[in-house]
Amino acid sequence: QVTLVESGGRLVQAGDSLSLSCVGSGATLRSYTMAWFRQAPGKEREVVAVSRRYGTSIYYADSVKGRFTISRDHAKNTMYLQMNSLKLEDTAVYYCAADSSIILSSQYSASHYDYWGQGTQVTVSA
C-alpha cells in the first residue's frame, strides 16, 4: 500500500515562489508515474504536472508551463513541485498522486490514479 504525504502549502502573495513536497512510502516510487493535481473551490480536480515512471517524460498543463517545475528525488522517494510567479488563479488544494501502471493517454485524468495524498492548501493573495 502506497502512502503519499504532501507538505509546503501556505499563504503567499502573487509573484512569490513556493515549493511543495510529496513523500511516499510503501513502495519504491521510481517505478510509479507521479503527478500533481489541484482543485479550486467549485472546480474539478485538474492535472498540473506529470512525471512518468523511470523519468521517461514530463508533462505540464499550459496554465503552469514555464512557471512550475516537477522533480523527483528517488533516493528520498519524494516528488517536488517548484512554483514560481504564482498567480491568484493558482489558489487551490494541491494533491500528489501515483500509479504504477497508468498509460500515457490516461495520465492527465485524476480517475486513473490509485494513490493520493491528503492535499495541501496553496493560497495566493493579491
Give the E-state strand segments of the chain in sequence order: 3-7, 11-13, 18-25, 33-39, 46-51, 58-60, 68-73, 78-83, 92-99, 115-116, 120-125
Say yes or no to pLDDT of 14 above 90.
yes
Over residues 23-82, the pLDDT tens digits come to: 999 999 999 999 999 999 999 999 999 999 987 899 999 999 999 999 999 999 999 999
pLDDT of amino acid 30: 92
Q: What pLDDT score does 105 carry?
A: 82
**pLDDT attached to residue 54:** 84
* pLDDT surpasses 90 at 103: no
